[in-house]
Every structure is written in C-alpha cells, then in structure tokens.
Amino acid sequence: MHNTAFRFTVHPSSGLPIYRQIMDQVCALIAGGRLAQGDFLPSVRQLAAELQVNMMTISKAYARLEAEGVIERVRGKGMRVRPPSARGSLADRRRELRPLVEQAVIRARQLQLDDGQIVQIVESILKEHQP
C-alpha cells in the first residue's frame, strides 16, 4: 500500500543536493513513525512529477537508500521500507553517528546556545521520534 500521509519537499537553493534531501526526508519519516516497515514510497515517476525534478534524481536517492538497507525493491510494486536493523557493532554505530552530532554541536555553538539549551533541543527531538 502506498502511504500518502506525507509530502516531500525540496529546496534547490539549499546547497544540499536534491537526492540527499529526499534521502534525509525518507529517513526522518521512518524515524518519526510516519513511514513504517512495509510501506511503499511513491514511484520514481510520481515523485519526480510532484517535485518537478529529474527522474534520475529520485532514482539516485532510492538507489542509495536501497544500498544503505533502508528500503527494498519489490518487483512490480516499487520501493518498500525494510524492517529496521542494527548494522554493525554498537561501537561502529556510535562512530557513524558521532560526526553528525559533532556538526550539530558546532552549529549550536555558532548560534551561541549553551549546553543546557542544546540538551533541551536533543531531548525534544528524542521525544518527537519515540517509537
């Protein structure tokens, strides 16, 4: 079944490649529970038309998500959200997450936020994305 309770948006002038914006949105929708295991993504053609972008851009995003194990191709039906899996050891997963958190902390410091304010934001986001 295709889940239509969400909409993708892209910002061509953001500096972040459009395929990456789509990948990030898929991952955020999954983390937030709006896309669940077994839900199908819009077809490449459908999403490209909706966002007014080249089909190859959508195809690239989907291919990378598939390579990362986030989605899977179902012959004749499209791309489906895979069951979550913890790939690698805890140490590997922490190592993968660290640069992203570090980038967020650096940006928070640039915005002159203190430790307490940063922690409040993180706690708020964790509450929003509880399973």
- Dump pLDDT digits (tens) for 18-48: 999 999 999 989 888 889 999 999 999 999 9
Entry pTM: 0.68
Q: What is the mean pLDDT of the chain?
A: 89
Which CATH class, in words, describes the domain spanning 12-81? mainly alpha
- Dump pLDDT digits (tens) for 59-84: 999 999 999 889 999 999 999 999 87
CA distance 118 to 111: 10
Predicted local confidence at residue 87, as pLDDT: 67
Predicted local confidence at residue 99, as pLDDT: 87
Phi and psi at residue 40, to the nearest 5°: -95, 145
The helix (run of H) or strand (run of E) holding residue 74 is strand 71-74
